[in-house]
Amino acid sequence: MIEKTVKIVNKAGLHTRPAATIVKLAAKYKSDFFIYRDGMSINGKSIIGVMTLAADIGSELKLTFDGPDEQQACEEISAYFERGFDEL
Amino acid sequence: MKSFREIYKNADNKVTGIAAAPGIVIGKAFLFSKEKLEINKTPIVNADEAINNFQEALKQSKKELNKIFGFAREKMDGVRAAIFEAQLMILDDPILLEHIRERIRNEMVQPEFVVADEISKYQELMIISHESYMKERAHDIEDIKQRIIRNLQKKRWQSKIEKNLIVVSESLTPADTLLFSRREALAFVTDHGGLTSHAAIISRSLNLPAVVGTQKATQLIKDGEQIVVDGFHGYVITNPTEVQLEFFREKQERLLILQKGLEELKNLPAKTLDGKEINIEANVDVSGEIDLVLTTGANGIGLYRTEQILNELGSFPDEKEQTEIYSKLASRMYPKILTIRAYDIGGDKFRINEYREPNPFLGLRGIRFLLENENLFKAQIRAVLKASENKNVKFMIPMITTLEEIWRSIKLIQECKSELRKEKIKFDNQMKIGIMVEVPSAAVMAKEFSDEIDFVSIGTNDLIQYLMAVDRGNDQVSNLYQEFSPVVIRTIAHIVREAKKGKVPVSICGEMAADTLAIPLLVGLGLDSLSMSPATILNAKRIIRSFDFKKAKILANECLLCKTEIDIQKKVQKFFEDNNISRTRNII
């Protein structure tokens, strides 16, 4: 299992559109993917789950990946966070 | 003939709201309520059958949403229609769906109970968040929840809706509004929402009357009863008396005659009796309004508010999405001019949730926000430049307060131009750049500022608020928001005079331009063009075509000597009487 902490860097935060993209990215991989925030864990493959996260700019989230393709999944998804969901 | 005031004064059957889209309609109310679905925790005997029903309901919901997605693409831009994408994805959410199926099996209760219970849990999580956009998100999800449950109960509200009804609802989602417009709804009445709610925007774009924000329309109006919707004044009359019906029927007839008369003006220029032509343009929020703009014979779009895209999308569109929206608009308007205003974010518009400003109207808004977020600004500039290929696009910058802001903006535009040149992308190198004058400092410095740019547009809404130091939304002080205050008139006169020293054209795009009473005075003050909501354009043409520019100039000069708002109003009213010009409110 891989753990990675990411920071929200875009102005608008984790709004509906990036939420949808994250879920779409996660769906490509076999590995389990969870997002942790304030003691809550959200399954990253669930759009309705990811939509409950109100993550503003500056907030930190812990991501975990577990499975055969965890490395690639972690790279692609955390890169998307780091690019500020392509909104920078 | 009674006046509106007399009719409304003693009416105990009126519902008061916000006039969101003009027009008068008499018709049957359709009380659209999504909360009526009853959910029972009824036990089941066959889990497989229940799960099958659930799958069927999902399939049907997907079919419906895809259809709405289709209408949306037709009516809105492809990008904006993406609001529905997340909703569609929920219908495929593997975690949610598996959990629901598991609970149906384990608990042996009706699927609609499990669906309601599961989805509500997520909504509660959203509602406890302090962010206002999370509450809207919970509302969007309500739409999906109700859709699945309705399909589980095999109810189809679409088929039950007759044509030609007035839709009365607590609030309307974009999906509802679009669907109802397809069923030839006559008008919309809602409990919630303001001038920028979806129901309001879409009503205006479809030219249907709407009264929004009534708080209690759904409690006061009964399904199937006859009601009158007055989208001019923001009232709904329930169960009208004979006297009231007669009154409104006559108003409708007059309105029809007025509109017919106005239609003849469509292809005529807005020229004063002595031949001075005023350029009339339209203010546009959504691209759906373009049809209306084209049918009123406007010379172009004087103000396209791009922040409206954010309101609909809930996020910033990227450069490609913006290019698509702007280019489509520019080509539909061609060869008429499209004036795109850079995002005016902040103040009362689209808040960025990162930091709550104690004083947003004096805070990071308009150009201040854009210069703090250069990449975002540059993406917009590049998209606007790309859309300018056919040379009918102008670009306008909001909330300019200092010369430095103009310089920095122009530098960024130059940077974008050289990037595009390197990328061999075509654009209009001469694209006109203008500023909004809506802050007192810009009004004072109008000469120096206009030396740097190609055109000036006065935003009266903000200018008046800042000049009078008054929030027009605050009932306790809104009487100080005075369009005809000598302060306002003298400031506008100063801006026009100063900008004209450098031969820079001046237009006005605030609500004042649409105030029929203000038009002769504004023309007399020397404004070259007026930009207003499409619905008011024909009427503005009618007024401009009924007086002499010479006389309007005399009126303006007289008003510039007045010391109080009342004095100016009296002079203007007298001008209307002396020149035999009737005002809309008197006609209908």
Please give, rounded to a whole number of angstroms, the shortest distance from the CA of B90 to a CA of chain A.
Answer: 6
pLDDT at B78: 46
Identity of the amino acid at B516: T
pLDDT at B76: 54
Q: Which has the minimum average pLDDT: B72-86, B324-338, B441-455? A: B72-86
Confidence of residue A12 (pLDDT cuts 50, 70, 90): confident
Partners of residue B396 on adjacent β-strands: B341, B434
CATH number at residue B31: 3.50.30.10
Distance CA B40, CA B583 (A): 57
Residue B41 lies in a domain: no
pLDDT at A54: 80
Question: DSSP secondary structure string, B214-273?
Answer: -SSHHHHSPTT-EEEEETTTTEEEES--HHHHHHHHHHHHHHHHHHHHHHTTTTS--B-T
Which of A15, A46, A87 is facing B93, going by the closest CB pair? A46
The more confidently predicted of residues B139 and B355 is: B139
pLDDT at B111: 93
Please give the share of chain B, as a percent, with pLDDT higher than 90.
Answer: 54
The H or E element that residue B282 is part of is strand B279-284
Which of B86, B125, B373 is facing A16, going by the closest CB pair? B86
pLDDT at B72: 66
Distance CA B88, CA B90 (A): 5
Residue B40 lies in a domain: no
pLDDT at B458: 97
Given a cut of 60, whether residue B270 has pLDDT beyond it is yes
Pick the last residue of a domain from B197, B225, B258: B258
For chain A, how long is the longest CA-to-CA vector? 34
Distance CA B395, CA B431 (A): 7
Given a cut of 90, whether residue B444 has pLDDT beyond it is yes
Quote the number of domains for chain B: 3
Please give, rounded to a whole number of angstroms, the shortest distance from the CA of B125 to a CA of chain A.
Answer: 6
Which of B86, B94, B353 is facing A56, going by the closest CB pair? B353
pLDDT in tens, B332-366: 888 899 999 999 987 555 555 556 677 888 988 99
Is B416 an active-site residue?
A: no
pLDDT in tens, B109-130: 999 999 999 999 999 888 887 6
Residue B88 lies in a domain: yes
Contact residues, chain A, for B86 at CB < 8 Å: 16-17, 19-20, 47, 51
Given a cut of 80, whether residue B176 has pLDDT beyond it is no
**What's phi and psi for B212, nearest 5 deg?**
-120, 170
Say whether both B421 and B437 belong to one domain.
yes
Please give, rounded to a whole number of angstroms, the shortest distance from the CA of A44 to a CA of chain B.
Answer: 9
Distance separating the N- and C-terminal Cα atoms of chain A: 30
pLDDT at B41: 86
Q: Tokens standing for B336?
A: 């008429």
Say whether both B219 and B317 belong to one domain.
no
Mean pLDDT across chain A: 91
Distance CA B411, CA B551 (A): 43
Distance CA B528, CA B280 (A): 9
Q: Tokens standing for B178?
A: 């679009």
Across B31-40, B136-145, B299-308, the highest mean pLDDT is recorded for B299-308
Given a cut of 90, whether residue B29 has pLDDT beyond it is yes
pLDDT at B266: 85
The more confidently predicted of residues A47 and B161 is: A47
Partners of residue B303 on adjacent β-strands: B283
Domain that holds residue B194: 4-35+159-258
pLDDT in tens, B199-224: 676 777 677 899 988 889 999 999 99
pLDDT at B584: 62
Given a cut of 70, whether residue B374 has pLDDT beyond it is yes
pLDDT in tens, B85-97: 788 899 999 999 9
Contact residues, chain B, for A46 at CB < 8 Å: 93-96
Q: What is the mean pLDDT of residues A67-88?
A: 93
* Contact indicator for A4, A36 with CB cutoff of 8 Å: no
Distance CA B250, CA B588 (A): 8
Say whether both B353 and B272 belong to one domain.
yes
Q: What is the mean pLDDT of residues B38-56?
A: 90
Distance CA A53, CA A42 (A): 8
Lookup result for tokens 């306790």: B476
**What's phi and psi for B339, nearest 5 deg?**
-100, 110
Tally A–B CB contacts below 8 A: 76
Q: Which has the minimum average pLDDT: B12-26, B89-103, B552-566? A: B12-26
pLDDT in tens, A18-57: 898 999 999 999 999 999 987 789 999 999 999 998 888 8
Identity of the amino acid at A73: A
* Contact indicator for B507, B528 with CB cutoff of 8 Å: yes
Confidence of residue B159 (pLDDT cuts 50, 70, 90): very low
pLDDT at A45: 95
Question: DSSP secondary structure string, B28-62?
Answer: EEEEE-STT------B-S-HHHHHHHHHHHHHHHH
The reply to whether residue B96 touches residue A49, judged by beta carbons under 8 angstroms, is yes
Lookup result for tokens 């960024």: B412
pLDDT at B4: 78
Contact residues, chain A, for B314 at CB < 8 Å: 15-17
Q: A2-86 adopts what CATH topology?
A: Histidine-containing Protein; Chain: A; (3.30.1340)
pLDDT at B33: 73
Q: Tokens standing for B225?
A: 């009863």
Residue A9: closest C-alpha in chain B: B354
* Contact indicator for A87, A10 with CB cutoff of 8 Å: yes
pLDDT at B263: 80
Contacts of B552 (CB under 8 A, 6+ apart): B272, B520, B521, B523, B524, B575
Distance CA B165, CA B464 (A): 40
Say whether both B183 and B76 belong to one domain.
no
Residues in chain A: 88
Distance CA B155, CA B169 (A): 18
For residue B105, CA distances in Å to A48, B41, B52, B93, B122 come to: 22, 14, 12, 19, 21
The more confidently predicted of residues B526 and B1 is: B526
pLDDT at B196: 59
DSSP state of B299: S
Distance separating the N- and C-terminal Cα atoms of chain B: 11
Q: Pick the catalytic residue from A15, A21, A37, A43.
A: A15
This model's pTM is above 0.90: no
Q: What is the mean pLDDT of residues B276-300?
A: 82
What value does the CA radius of gyration of chain A take, rounded to a whole number of Å? 12
pLDDT at B144: 87
Q: Quote the Cα angle for A56-A58-A60, to 5°.
A: 90
Contacts of B105 (CB under 8 A, 6+ apart): B47, B51
Contact residues, chain A, for B89 at CB < 8 Å: 20, 23-24, 47
Say whether both B298 and B363 belong to one domain.
yes
Pick the last residue of a domain from B123, B154, B185: B154
Pick the last residue of a domain from B200, B229, B258: B258
Q: Pick the catalytic residue from B198, B416, B559, B562.
A: B198
Say whether both B298 and B187 belong to one domain.
no
Mean pLDDT across chain B: 87
Contacts of B41 (CB under 8 A, 6+ apart): B109, B110, B113
Q: Tokens standing for B468?
A: 């009078």
Task: Kindly provide the b/e burial profile for residues A36-68, where b requires at least 16 CB atoms within 10 angstroms of the residue's own CB.
Answer: ebeeeebbbbbbbbbbbbbbbbeeebebbbeee
Torsion of CA B157, B161, B165, B171, to 10 degrees: 10
**Chain A residues interacting with chain B (CB cutoff of 8 angstroms):** 11-13, 15-20, 23-24, 43, 45-49, 51-52, 54, 56-58, 86-88
pLDDT at B352: 54
Q: What is the mean pLDDT of residues A12-22?
A: 85
Say whether both B91 and B181 belong to one domain.
no
- Per-residue three-class SS string for B73-95: HHHCCCCHHHHHHHHHHHCCCHH
pLDDT in tens, B226-263: 999 998 888 999 999 999 999 999 888 888 877 777 78
Q: Quote the Cα angle for B124-B128-B133, to 5°.
A: 95
Confidence of residue B79 (pLDDT cuts 50, 70, 90): very low
Q: Which has the minimum average pLDDT: B160-164, B276-280, B498-502? A: B160-164
Confidence of residue B146 (pLDDT cuts 50, 70, 90): confident
CATH number at residue B442: 3.20.20.60
Distance CA B47, CA B31 (A): 36
The more confidently predicted of residues B475 and B143 is: B143
Say whether both B239 and B105 belong to one domain.
no
Say whether both B540 and B422 belong to one domain.
yes
Q: Is B176 helix (H, G, I), strand (E, B) or coil?
A: helix
Residue B42 lies in a domain: no
Given a cut of 90, whether residue B367 has pLDDT beyond it is yes
Say whether both B210 and B290 belong to one domain.
no
Residue B146 lies in a domain: yes
Distance CA B520, CA B526 (A): 10
Q: Which has the minimum average pLDDT: B163-172, B320-329, B479-488? A: B163-172
CATH number at residue B61: 1.10.274.10
